[in-house]
Amino acid sequence: MRLLQAIYKELLILVRDRAGLAVLYIMPLCLIVLMALIQDAPFRDYKQANIPVLLINADQGAVSKLVYKGLEDAGMFKVDTVLVKDDAKAQASLAVKNGKYKAAVIVTKDASKHFEKNISLRVEKSFSGFFPIKTQIRELAAENSVLVFWDPIIKRTFKEGVNLALESALTNYQADLMIKKVGEKLKKLSPDQHFELDTKPAVLIAQKNAVPVDVALYGLNSVQHNVPAWAIFGIFFIVLPLSGNLIKEREQKTMLRLHLIPGSIPLVFLGKILAYLLIAQTQFIAVLLVGKFLMPVLGLPQLHTGNSIPAIIITVTALGFAAASLGILIGTLFRTHHQASTFGAVSVVILAAIGGIWVPVFIMPKILQTLSTVSPLGWGMHAFNSIFLRGSGISAIWPELLALFIFSGFTLVLSFTLEKFKKT
């Protein structure tokens, strides 16, 4: 069979170019490991961030306990506590300045007593109108009971995280304390000796997963993003050797010989596509193995691949087909290796960038999000996110698959037309 002979010829040429073949496999593997390691921190959930925060406790009362609990419960901080008798502002400033802590929180001396006293006075003041004899109640001036020293390089999101933890803890405490004091006051005023203020929540929040829990929503982390992303980039990297291979065929005049053999050009093109498709498939298997087994060894999360192996196979096939077709088009379009490799590399990098390979599409500006819909790499990324993160199968990713196959068909038709045109 002529097609098998054409594939065999391509594979022989590929296998004998060991350096080129090694690059095709090693490059995506290096990329996924490096990028997953580099992007691990930015991708991590705040709960895993462990930002060092120093709590300087001069209060040693309820407020300091609540601040500690609030920071701990936020999950994103590693809280070290020092007990001091005074406010120790200099100590806090130094701890942040020398870079050991990203923030230092001081709970000032007697902050709890001051807090509780102020709440009691507010409640007294509020109830004073119920009595015929009015008493003058003066609230204590608000004081800075909690001080925070920031490292200037800390990200705004982390700053907001600390503030949220503190505000949430103190506001809840203030509300609880106020309700408790109001309850006590009402109990005194009520004729019913068993009076209790009902403090049960009036509104409940229910949370549900959009997909069944058993299909495992693992969430987007560095591995779940970078492994499929750079695997797709690796698949599209075959554009460079494939376009170069085609230009070489023209330069060494084997293409000329093939033009004389009726019906051989489509077969040779198809042979190249199928040979490189095999490269793409095996490349992807290597990438998956790294994601499954090497990533956990490196301290990164393990790659989860969803539940649909057929969906993975067909997506890789569609991507390989699209990449090989693009390689054929570039090889047909340009006359020299230099032109083809420059255009090929730049176009793949641009398509990768707008396709959400470097960073997920949803954090890109709106205009780039719109542009991402025209990138074949973006279609692949979308398909893999559906398979790996949402547990989807072929039925959910058919629009992306269709787009990839249409792209391949279009580029191939264009390549054949150009090749025919060039011949004359």
Partner 1 sequence: MSLAVEIGALLKHYKGNIEPALKGIDLKVEKNTIFGLLGPNGAGKTSLISILAGILKPDLGYVKVFEQSVSEKNKNYRRFIGLVPQEIALYPTLTARENLTFFGRMYKVPRKELDDKIQYWLKLLGLDQQQGKLVQAFSGGMKRRLNLIAALLHDPDLVILDEPTVGVDVHSKNILLEQLLELKKQGKTIIYTSHQLEEAEQICDYLVIIDKGCLLTGGTPEKLLHGNFTNVRLEEYFLTITGKELRD
What residues make contact with partner 1 under the rule CB under 8 A?
2, 5-6, 9, 12-13, 16-17, 252-254, 256-262, 264, 267-268, 423-424
Q: CA distances (Å), 232 to each of 251, 316, 390, in order?
A: 30, 8, 19
* 100/102 Cα distance (integer angstroms): 7
Sequence-distant (6+) residues with CB within 8 A of 162 are 53, 71, 74, 77, 103, 105, 148
The owner of tokens 């109640």 is 137
Cβ 348 to partner 1, closest distance in Å?
25
Cβ 273 to partner 1, closest distance in Å?
17
Q: Which is closer to partner 1, CB of 44 or CB of 259?
A: 259
Cβ 268 to partner 1, closest distance in Å?
8
Phi, psi of 118 (to 5 degrees): -60, -40
Q: Which is closer to partner 1, CB of 46 or CB of 416?
A: 416
Q: 126 with 179: CB under 8 angstroms?
A: no
Q: Which is closer to partner 1, CB of 228 or CB of 331?
A: 331
Sheet of 77-83, strands arranged across: 77-83, 51-57, 103-107, 146-150
Cβ 413 to partner 1, closest distance in Å?
17
Q: Which is closer to partner 1, CB of 12 or CB of 289?
A: 12
Q: 397 with 315: CB under 8 angstroms?
A: yes
Q: Which is closer to partner 1, CB of 148 or CB of 258?
A: 258
Cβ 272 to partner 1, closest distance in Å?
13
Cβ 18 to partner 1, closest distance in Å?
11
Cβ 224 to partner 1, closest distance in Å?
40
Instruction: Count Cβ neighbours within 10 Å for each residue of 359-382 and write b for 16 or more, e otherwise.
Output: ebbeebeeeeeebbeebbbbbbbb
Cβ 27 to partner 1, closest distance in Å?
21
Q: Which is closer to partner 1, CB of 26 or CB of 256?
A: 256
Q: Which is closer to partner 1, CB of 395 or CB of 424?
A: 424
Cβ 13 to partner 1, closest distance in Å?
6
Instruction: Count Cβ neighbours within 10 Å for each residue of 189-218 and write b for 16 or more, e otherwise.
Output: eeeeeeeeeeeeeeeeeeeeeeeeeebbeb
Give the count of beta carbons closer than 10 Å to the beta carbon of residue 69: 14
Q: Which is closer to partner 1, CB of 155 or CB of 422?
A: 422
Q: What is the DSSP string of 232-252?
A: HHHHHHTHHHHHHHHHHHHHT
Instruction: Count Cβ neighbours within 10 Å for each residue of 232-250 and write b for 16 or more, e otherwise.
Output: bbbbbbbbbbbbbbbbebb
Q: CA distances (Å), 250 to each of 37, 258, 371, in order?
A: 42, 10, 35
Among candidates 231, 230, 236, 228, which has minimal Cα distance to 411? 236
Q: Which is closer to partner 1, CB of 81 or CB of 264?
A: 264
